[in-house]
Amino acid sequence: MSPHLVTPAARTAVRVTTLRVDGLATDLCLPATPPGPHPAVLIRTPYDRRAHRAELRAWAARGFAAVAQDVRGRYGSEGDWRPYGDHEAADGASALRWIRGRVWSDGRIVASGASYGAFCALALPGADAVIAAVPALGLAETAREPTGPERLHARAGWWAAHGDRREPAARPGPVALDRLPVSGLLDLPAWPALWAASRRPLPAGDMPLLAVGGTRDAFAGDTVRLWRGWRGPARLLLGPWGHGLTADPAPEARPAHRLNLGSLYADWARAALAGSLQGHGATAALGDSDHWCVLDSCAGTRASYPPQPFGFDDPTRLRPLRGVEFVADPARPVRSDDLAVPDTAPADRCLLVGPPLPRPLDLLGPAEARLDATADTPSADWALRLTALTPDGHARPLATGVVRRSRPGPFTVPLGVLARRLDAGTRLRVEVAGHHFPAHARNPHTGENPVTATRLTASHRAVRLTGSRLLLPVAPRIRKADPRQEIPK
């Protein structure tokens, strides 16, 4: 639920009371009538509980006792701020016990949160249902892609703003992301520890889960993996949004994609607490269309339709323009924040473009690339970027995947879940490069750890067109859906 989606009446209907629970600043908002007891929703956040007061009132207006709490060491809460520490589970358990001990509580609690708040919600032992939006699942999970490369730009920005402060910097200073070593970018004790952290098993509870993500969010893959691996009843909602969800719409978002997430969350919570949810279900917005669709090809079982190959050696699908052999130079990396393709010599990427689509194409489901490529260095990152070139000449990002390799042989580059409609006349562009900077740290190509390396060297690459291909989830038909009906059922 988001404050900008809360009705004016909900903002003033009920009063918010501030309390302290084990030294942690806690806001409480109870329904005006009836007196209760009520189910509760608990939000634990490092981003200021006071920013959730309109949201608490909206939950209360829908019959929930609503609680928001600053995590330890942030804003009004006592203690030291240690991001992703084990104390979040203990503090969350204490908050659950406190709620269940109140006369206004009927004992049923929904844990809810976004980003770091989703980590807190998932860490809660004993919640009856969980809403996890754009989940940042842990230190290692936020620091690196599952395929190895380090996420740089977003991590440096988050830690610069929040890493060692009770309250975030109003305007954090710029970080020189090209400075080496990466471990020395920020003067924070926890910054080097971020890169030494080990991945944990994905949370997989038995209670109902609602996972909410944006196809433009850096954690979209984590959102899908969380949903796919959940043991209990689980729903997945994917929209054409960034990390801010409906407050951060992508260019492909349409008016039909403007959901009232608050109302949807409350409807789902009622169904979850009533025990009426079964199995796994997923709904996704089809970007550049007016539709929401059932996304039944992501469940980890048989796809509803086979992925279609777009061979690098098939001129009816893709045609190489240049760079079948190219140089990946970390001193001049291919940039993640620029879709322009410079005409450089030597080539800095392999570039392929397809012919204009003869008819509209719906892409709905997981995509990947199979590459048969070589590098002359002991470690190599392979970044594949898929772009739609619209008939009016604009470049629109579709998907990106980055994989680290240290051995020869063909390999797969996951491209995440696509949910887009491409108009007739659109052309697909594929770039295969050695870097995706500054979204990801540069591989130095020396075999050293990219986090601690101080020396860079160029890498010579070659892509075998035969054996390399895209595998795209081309949907011959879509199953239209209304998320307001699909998610709570």
pTM of full prediction above 0.85: yes
Instruction: Judge whether residue 3 has pLDDT over 50.
Output: no
What's the average model confidence in pLDDT over 261-274? 97
What's the average model confidence in pLDDT over 140-144? 96
* Reported confidence tier of residue 172, pLDDT bands at 50, 70, 90: low
What's the average model confidence in pLDDT over 226-243? 97
Please give the backbone phi and psi of residue 450, each rounded to the nearest 5 degrees, phi first: -60, -20
Q: In terms of C-beta density within 10 A (0-12 exposed, 13-18 middle, 19 or more buried), how is residue 191 classed?
A: buried
What's the average model confidence in pLDDT over 469-479? 94
Which pLDDT value is given to residue 304?
Answer: 57
Which pLDDT value is given to residue 1?
Answer: 44
What's the average model confidence in pLDDT over 64-91? 96
Q: 291: which strand partners?
A: 286
Location of structure tokens 């109870």:
30
* Reported confidence tier of residue 126, pLDDT bands at 50, 70, 90: very high
Instruction: Judge whether residue 13 has pLDDT over 80.
Output: no
Which pLDDT value is given to residue 262?
Answer: 95
Write out pLDDT tens, residues 174-184. 789 999 999 99
Radius of gyration of the chain (CA): 23
User: Nearest CA to 372 among 423, 336, 408?
Assistant: 408
Tokens found for residue 3:
């404050």
Which pLDDT value is given to residue 7?
Answer: 47
Instruction: Judge whether residue 301 has pLDDT over 50.
Output: no
* Reported confidence tier of residue 302, pLDDT bands at 50, 70, 90: very low
Residues of the chain with pLDDT > 70, as a percent, come to 95
C-alpha span between 115 and 6 (Å, rounded): 20
Mean pLDDT for all residues in the chain: 93
Q: How many CB atoms lie within 10 A of CB 307?
A: 18
At 313 the three-state DSSP class reads coil
Q: Is the CB of residue 193 less than 8 Å from the CB of residue 206?
A: no
Which pLDDT value is given to residue 165?
Answer: 86
Instruction: Judge whether residue 10 has pLDDT over 60.
Output: no
326 vs 345: which has the higher pLDDT: 326
Instruction: Judge whether residue 55 has pLDDT over 50.
Output: yes
Which pLDDT value is given to residue 456?
Answer: 97
Which pLDDT value is given to residue 11?
Answer: 42
Question: Angle 289-292-295 (CA atoms, 0-180°, nearest 5)?
Answer: 115
Maximum Cα–Cα distance across the chain: 73
Instruction: Judge whether residue 8 has pLDDT over 50.
Output: no
Which pLDDT value is given to residue 295?
Answer: 86
What's the average model confidence in pLDDT over 347-374? 97
Please give the backbone phi and psi of residue 442, each rounded to the nearest 5 degrees, phi first: -80, 135
* Reported confidence tier of residue 298, pLDDT bands at 50, 70, 90: low
* Reported confidence tier of residue 171, pLDDT bands at 50, 70, 90: low
Q: Is the CB of residue 53 less than 8 Å from the CB of residue 27?
A: yes
Write out pLDDT tens, residues 401-449. 999 999 888 999 999 999 999 999 999 999 999 999 999 999 999 999 9
* Reported confidence tier of residue 170, pLDDT bands at 50, 70, 90: low
What's the average model confidence in pLDDT over 444-459? 97
What's the average model confidence in pLDDT over 21-39? 94
Instruction: Judge whether residue 319 has pLDDT over 90.
Output: yes
Q: In terms of C-beta density within 10 A (0-12 exposed, 13-18 middle, 19 or more buried), how is residue 94 classed?
A: middle
Which pLDDT value is given to residue 409?
Answer: 86
Which pLDDT value is given to residue 164?
Answer: 84
C-alpha span between 389 and 428 (Å, rounded): 6
